[in-house]
Amino acid sequence: MPASPARVLLVDDDARFFEEVRTRLQSERDIVIGWSQQRMLDDVPDDDYAHADVVVTDSDKHGPALADEVSRVKSKFGHLQFLIIGSAEDDSVTMILLESGARGYLDLATSGDHLAAAIRRLASGGTWIPPHILGRYLDLIQMVEFLPKTGTENDPWAKFTAREQRILMMMTCGRRDREIAITIGVHESVVGSTIQQLMHRTGAVNRPSLIAYYLYHKLFRNADGIPSLGAVLEN
């Protein structure tokens, strides 16, 4: 839990949604919620972001532009954590998190207790990933807990190309080589050889361990530790 109240900025142009979220959090004395009545994250004044710890927004109202919007805001305000609320399918949720740099996702129907817990964890520098998403990667998450915490000077991830990042993201979301190849417009053999190169560069012994490294880098690195499986399943 953060030492001072978590400052939350809700970005949504629907006053009813803001009132619903505020009602859910009204009994939480360590959470202060504000509201920016904007539909797009790019339209929020910089001063609002500067005085927030966690930004909450609805993925269902942003569409495919959400990942780019979050990335742009995070590039200017590195201290911000994003909690995405929505009702997307599993793969879409994973794609949103991996593409945007957001570290938190909640279903629209989640309880008030989970909403408060997610905000506290994000404000403390942690992550909040839905159990049904992590459930697909339980073996990988167990592997992640034992990954070496290398410094950025020895970090191969910083040198990955946009294509390599895209291939990794789609592989993590369960896409087959053929599907990835069609999506990015290359021959299937290019996808396979790229994955082999990535395994060599990262020290991954197989595809599952490569995915584990990728999940760690994108979702958990610089967080306040990897969540234990018990804690994940209790969320």
Mean per-residue pLDDT, 52-76: 88
Least confident of 51-60, 86-95, 189-198: 86-95
* pTM (2 d.p.): 0.72
User: Distance (Å, rounded) from C-alpha 144 to C-alpha 212?
Assistant: 6
What is the mean predicted confidence (pLDDT) over 19-45? 93
Q: What stretches of 26-149 show up as alpha helix (H) in DSSP?
A: 46-50, 66-76, 90-100, 112-123, 131-134, 138-144
Give whole-number Cα distances, 207 to 108, 211, 219, in Å. Answer: 33, 6, 18
For the cut 50, the answer to whether the pLDDT of residue 153 exceeds it is no
**Confidence at residue 230, expressed as pLDDT on a 0 to 100 scale:** 42
Q: What is the mean pLDDT of residues 157-169?
A: 83
Higher per-residue pLDDT: 201 or 31: 31
